[in-house]
Amino acid sequence: MTRIAALLLLLGIALPALAAPFGIDQLMATMANNKRSTASFSEKKYLAIMDQPVESSGELLFIPPSRLEKRTLKPKPETLVLDGDVLNVERRGKKHVLQLASYPEIAGMIESIRATLAGDRKTLEQVYHLTLSGGGSGWVLLLVPREAKVAGIVTRIRMEGVRDEVRRMEILLADGDRSVMTIRQGAAP
Amino acid sequence: MMRHGLRHNRLAIALWLIFLSVSVWIVSRASFTADLSAFLPRTPTQEQQLLVEQLKSGIASRLILIGIDGGDPAARARASLAMAARLRADARFLHIANGESLGLERDRQILLENRYLLSPMVTAERFTPEGLRAGIEDSIEQLSTSSGLFSKALLPRDPTGEFMQLIEGMAGGKSQPQMADGVWVSRDGRRALLLARTRAEGADTDAQEQAVAAIRTAFQATASPAMQLSMTGPGPFSVSARATIKDEVARLSGISTLIIIGLLGLVYRSFPALLLGLLPVLSGALAGVAAVSLGFGTIHGVTLGFGTALIGEAVDYSIYLLTQSERSGDVANDAAGRQRWLAEYWPTIRIGVLASVFGFASLLFSGFPGLAQLGLYAIAGLVTAALTTRFVLPHLLPANLRIRDLEPIGRRLYFAVARAGRLRTPVLILFVAACAVLVVQRDQMWNQELSALSPVSKSDQALDMAMRSDLGAPDVRYLVVVTAAGREAALTGSERVGTALRQLAAQGVIDSFESPAFYLPSQTSQRQRQASLPPDAELRRRFQVAIADLPLRAERFEAFFADVARSRGRAPLTRPDIEGASLAEGVDALLVQADAHWTALLPLRAAAGSRQVIDAAKMRAALAETGLAGVYFVDLKAESDNLYESYLREAILLSLAGLLAILALLYAVTRSPSRVLRIATPLAMAVAVVIAGLVLSGQQLTILHLVGMLLVVAVGSNYALFFDQGEVAGDIQPRTLASLALATSTTVAGFGILGFSSVPVLNAIGVTVAPGAILALIFSAILAQRR
């Protein structure tokens, strides 16, 4: 009995040394190795006011460490460029420049994607509590807002991925509405 | 006989003293200014009046552009925030902008609650089933965008997206300055930028000075020593111009007075003579200031600066009196000498004074107040100086006054002059060459812009341009101005003009425009919009039809029905309702009350690719079509250049008139065309050579150079007259020659000092008159006929 316990204890100590379980640090390190990456996305918004989900699709471009572009192509063209703490929005032929710092709620949501892609644990943890499950070949990262201000809008963000790729992102809003974005690496088809 | 003369003396001195006391009293109550007023027309046309109003009190006149350089970006941002916070608490400023988003919450609330009264999209068509459907479909598409997760919150309340329309319409077309660390910065990021709008109008230099000082204090209290502050805009510019003019007038008049006193002291070698010789000048200066104060209400700094130069001219009369009278050392003979001087020389001086007065008198008729002031100052000053010399000074001279006899100096000069005739040919060649230069350069030698007279330095103008373009601050060159009897009428007018302007924007004549009605629509429009909102039951019915095959359910839109119902019963929004919101700032900047009327300003932006130029003819035609009275298209730059051009044209005419008057005077006195010609020729040559010299040195001529030319003739004719008189009398006296040399020296010192002024108006007069006066004397000597 004690021998088994001792063995388990031994295993418990030895196992991490053998196979290094997939932790947040490891995921972040993997993500941080990412170079410039492009992906196509399709997004479905499930809104209480609408009887059907609202769909959109387009391209994502991430240039480490801080530039993220989201180009929506359908149904309405729109370009969103986040560079540093400035957000440029181009819509209906009009350009808007927003300071991220002036919009903490939006900033929180946008930062979740960018910081994950950049493998920036420090920034992520400033805004969210992180929980990771799964392993390198299939992981789920759960982000729960720390601040009440952000939590008043977003209940949680769930990211699913494989190795250094984010494949799916689900944002659950405080009012029960949610948005699901599926991401495919490489340029849009 | 003797007693009778004595009574005369006492009377003259008493009158003089009374005159002086009255002048001192007037001067002590006079007010001085250094603002734009000297450059603005006295009797403006309607368009010029608008220009004047804009320059004095318009939106652009109240803007102060502030830059913070040095230190690191984060520290500059902190300084900008702290400075702005201090200045916002200062009642002297209407508005401080530095990129912070303040008051957005209140704006948001007002816009949201009043959207159906404020949005120009609200029409009867918008609330038909088709209109509603189009609006709702638009909003659904909006949900698909990145902001969809946020805009969906408003959907039940605002399914047609009126709120977003309003926000976008207001932000439309305005380019936002670059931001860093939460504040505005220049494009290269090295300068933090702020924009202040003062409560006081731009023309109120005292208030602007306070505003500038408040900004400086706020900067010093918040910035680190590594940072530098810069300020541009009409306010800071007029403040620094006034300081410059004040400083220069004091310094330059001090220097020229010292030089003249030095010269006279050196020549007279007698302290009492020096003091007495200055009496006519001081009387003249006092009289000049008093006359301008009476005639114009305020005295411009430029006039005082010009007065400096006139000291050198006014002192001439006493020089003639003191140095030309023959002297024997015998008291009785000296008095007799003075009597003889009065008989022999006074008539010549009198003509000289009259010639100067005729020259300056033409300036009196100028529509350019700056020139008219100069004219009045000069006339009053010169006449007083001459009269004091003639009627007061001789009685004040002590019987035993001893001054150095100029006879020996005069003889040496006479020797030089006698041989000067040999230089005739070179002078003629010089004159012909000067004429050739003027003919060749005639098209490009005049500066056609009012800014040529601006006392703002080139580097300050460049800084202003740079900060303006970084800030996207309105340069406000083009405006539509709507004048009306009341606020409401001005707003209605703005809205009707706005309709025409939207068409012009669609045609590409303009890019966009701003209007006070964007921020506060007229009551009429608001009521019209209310009237286009259907009653509740009808709205519900139409809404049901509109969303028939859309994935929406009507029961989720109760908030919308409630808002529409509330808007139908709401009183239209008025100015007090928006107090404290940035909407109020928008209205207040563009809708101003002046005297009994209201003026709405609609600044225009030129279409891209039009090189920032708007077709004035198309604008005026489109505005005429609206059939509205009191609506004007104003191109401020063209207007100010036109104004300057009209000044220039007028000044040319007046100068010619002045010239003719002087020639007519000379003819009336001499009754001999050939003598007039002999007097005038050296003057014409002096003017031609000086102007050619200025043109060759790269100076562009302004209206003030023209005035300078007139002055060369007016001043130079005094000297030419003595040579002419000398010729008539046989030959010019050595002593006369010496007095002329001294008189010219003082004149040249007075005007020459102005040539060192950085104030363009004074500089132009200085560099023209000083060399002109010397040349007039030299040419008169060279060309004088000898028997």
> Tens digits of per-residue pLDDT, B638-666?
887 888 888 888 888 888 898 899 899 98
Eight-class DSSP state of B571:
P
A75 touches chain B (CB under 8 A): yes
Rounded-to-5 percentages of helix, strand, coil across chain B: 70, 10, 20
How many other β-carbons are positioned within 10 Å of the β-carbon of residue B535? 11
Q: Angle, nearest 10°, between helix axes B734-754 and B301-324?
A: 170
Which residues of chain B lie closer than 8 angstroms to A69, CB-CB?
none
Diameter of chain A measured on Cα atoms? 74
Would you call A180 helix, strand, or coil by DSSP?
Answer: strand
User: Is A78 in contact with B146 (Cβ distance < 8 A)?
Assistant: yes
* Spatial distance between the Cα atoms of B465 and B475, rounded to a whole number of angstroms: 9
Q: ipTM, 2 decimals? A: 0.74
Residues 13-42 of A with CB under 8 A from B: none
**Which segments of chain A does DSSP mark as H helices, in order?**
2-19, 24-32, 104-118, 121-127, 148-151
Rounded-to-5 percentages of helix, strand, coil across chain A: 30, 45, 25
pLDDT tens digits along B491-545: 999 999 999 998 988 888 888 888 888 889 999 999 999 998 989 888 899 988 8
Where is pLDDT greater, at B43 or B184? B184
pLDDT tops 80 at residue B102? no
For strands B298-300 and B31-33, give the pairing. parallel
Where is pLDDT greater, at B699 or B214? B214
Confidence of residue B306 (pLDDT cuts 50, 70, 90): confident
Under a CB-based contact definition with an 8 Å cutoff, are residues A154 and A174 in contact? Answer: yes
Nearest CA distance, B67 vs chain A (angstrom): 21
Percent of chain B topping pLDDT 90: 18
Enumerate residues 6+ apart whose C-beta is below 8 A from A124: A111, A112, A115, A116, A130, A143
Comparing C-alpha atoms, which of A104, A157, A167, A105 is closest to residue A129? A157
Whole-number pLDDT of residue B385: 92
A83 touches chain B (CB under 8 A): no
pLDDT tops 70 at residue B363? yes
User: Is B150 in contact with A56 (Cβ distance < 8 A)?
Assistant: no
Tokens matching residue B688: 């031609």
Whole-number pLDDT of residue A2: 45
pLDDT tops 90 at residue B730? no
| Averaged pLDDT for residues B727-736 | 78
Would you call B258 helix, strand, or coil by DSSP?
Answer: helix
Q: Which CA distances in Å does A89 have to A71, A98, A101?
A: 10, 8, 15
Enumerate residues 6+ apart whose C-beta is below 8 A from B77: B180, B181, B182, B183, B192
Q: Which CA distances in Å does A77 have to A96, A183, A184?
A: 15, 18, 19
Q: Is the peptide bond before B44 cis (omega within 30 degrees of 0)?
A: no
Under a CB-based contact definition with an 8 Å cutoff, are residues B221 and B238 in contact? Answer: no
Whole-number pLDDT of residue A13: 42
Under a CB-based contact definition with an 8 Å cutoff, are residues B747 and B773 in contact? Answer: yes
- Give me Rg for the CA atoms of chain A: 19
For strands A128-135 and A138-145, give the pairing. antiparallel
A52 touches chain B (CB under 8 A): yes
Whole-number pLDDT of residue A188: 41
| Averaged pLDDT for residues B413-417 | 82
| Averaged pLDDT for residues B47-69 | 81
* Spatial distance between the Cα atoms of B130 and B114, rounded to a whole number of angstroms: 23
Of the listed ranges B31-40, B188-197, B703-712, the one predicted with least confidence: B31-40
Comparing C-alpha atoms, which of B231, B219, B224 is closest to residue B86? B219
User: Is A49 in contact with B556 (Cβ distance < 8 A)?
Assistant: yes
Confidence of residue B210 (pLDDT cuts 50, 70, 90): very high
Give me chain A's average pLDDT, please: 79
Mutation site, B145, B168, B170, interface A, largest A CB count within 10 A: B145
Domain B1-33+269-405 -> CATH class: mainly alpha
A96 touches chain B (CB under 8 A): yes
Whole-number pLDDT of residue A7: 45
**Which segments of B442-535 does DSSP mark as H helices, in order?**
458-471, 487-507, 516-519, 523-531
Domain boundaries defined on chain B = 1-33+269-405, 409-444+672-787
Which residues of chain A lie closer than 8 angstroms to B168, CB-CB?
92, 94
Tokens matching residue B64: 């102060």
Domain B409-444+672-787, what architecture? Up-down Bundle (1.20)
HSE, CB side, 13 Å, CA atoms: give it for residue B50: 24
B488 by Cβ neighbours in 10 Å (0-12 / 13-18 / 19+) ranks as middle
Whole-number pLDDT of residue B490: 92
Which residues of chain B lie closer than 8 angstroms to A177, CB-CB?
149, 152
Whole-number pLDDT of residue B171: 59
Whole-number pLDDT of residue A14: 40
What single-letter amino acid sits at B765? I
pLDDT tens digits along B231-281: 998 889 888 888 888 888 888 888 888 888 898 888 888 888 888 888 998
Q: Angle, nearest 10°, between helix axes B760-783 and B424-441?
A: 140
- Report the alpha-carbon angle B690-B694-B698, nearest 5: 165
Find how far residue B25's CA is from the centre of its chain.
29
Domains in chain A: ranges and CATH: 22-185 (2.50.20.10)
Residues on B contacting A at a C-beta cutoff of 8 Å: 99, 101, 140-150, 152, 155-156, 168, 171-172, 176, 179, 182, 551-553, 556
Would you call B508 helix, strand, or coil by DSSP?
Answer: coil
- Give me Rg for the CA atoms of chain B: 35
| Averaged pLDDT for residues B187-216 | 89
B253 by Cβ neighbours in 10 Å (0-12 / 13-18 / 19+) ranks as buried
| Averaged pLDDT for residues B752-765 | 86
Q: Which CA distances in Å does B634 have to B490, B620, B638?
A: 17, 9, 8
The helix/strand count (H/E) of chain A reads as 5, 11
* Spatial distance between the Cα atoms of B430 and B254, rounded to a whole number of angstroms: 36
Give me chain B's average pLDDT, please: 84
Whole-number pLDDT of residue A9: 43
Under a CB-based contact definition with an 8 Å cutoff, are residues B693 and B435 in contact? Answer: no
Whole-number pLDDT of residue B683: 92
Q: Is the peptide bond before A53 cis (omega within 30 degrees of 0)?
A: no
How many other β-carbons are positioned within 10 Å of the β-carbon of residue B453? 22
Which residues of chain A lie closer than 8 angstroms to B142, CB-CB?
76
User: What's the first-to-final CA gap in chain A, in angstroms?
Assistant: 60
Mutation site, B139, B149, B552, interface A, largest A CB count within 10 A: B149
pLDDT tens digits along B599-612: 898 888 887 766 77
pLDDT tops 60 at residue A50? yes
Report the residue of chain A nearest B102, measured CA to CA: A102
Whole-number pLDDT of residue B85: 92
The number of residues in chain B equals 787
Comparing C-alpha atoms, which of B114, B339, B83 is closest to residue B219? B83
Q: Which of A47, A70, A101 sits opposite B146 (nearest CB)?
A: A70
Diameter of chain B measured on Cα atoms? 124
* Spatial distance between the Cα atoms of B728 and B159, rounded to a whole number of angstroms: 100
Comparing C-alpha atoms, which of B613, B721, B739 is closest to residue B322? B739
pLDDT tops 60 at residue A1? no
Same fold for the pair B1-33+269-405 and B409-444+672-787: yes
Please state the pTM of the whole predicted model. Answer: 0.71
Nearest CA distance, B465 vs chain A (angstrom): 23
Q: Which of B101, B149, B556 sits opposite A102 (nearest CB)?
A: B101
pLDDT tens digits along B138-165: 888 877 777 777 777 788 888 888 888 8
What single-letter amino acid sits at B179? M
Q: Which CA distances in Å does B695 have to A39, B327, B435, B756, B775?
A: 68, 46, 11, 18, 17
User: Is A89 in contact with B149 (Cβ distance < 8 A)?
Assistant: no
Would you call A157 helix, strand, or coil by DSSP?
Answer: strand
User: Is A72 in contact with B148 (Cβ distance < 8 A)?
Assistant: no
Of the listed ranges A93-107, B415-429, B568-582, B736-750, the one predicted with least confidence: A93-107
pLDDT tops 80 at residue B123? yes
Confidence of residue B771 (pLDDT cuts 50, 70, 90): very high
CB pairs under 8 A between A and B: 67
Comparing C-alpha atoms, which of B252, B231, B376 is closest to residue B303? B376
Tokens matching residue A154: 């977003």
pLDDT tops 80 at residue A15? no
pLDDT tops 70 at residue B777? yes
Would you state the torsion angle of the CA atoms of residues B71, B73, B74, B78, taken in this order, to the nearest 10 degrees? 70
Which residues of chain A lie closer than 8 angstroms to B560, CB-CB?
none
* Spatial distance between the Cα atoms of B743 and B317, rounded to a whole number of angstroms: 8
User: Is B152 in contact with A80 (Cβ distance < 8 A)?
Assistant: no
* Spatial distance between the Cα atoms of B232 and B229, rounded to a whole number of angstroms: 10
pLDDT tops 80 at residue B729? no
Whole-number pLDDT of residue A19: 44
Residue owning tokens 């303040």 = B102
Under a CB-based contact definition with an 8 Å cutoff, are residues A78 and B144 in contact? Answer: no
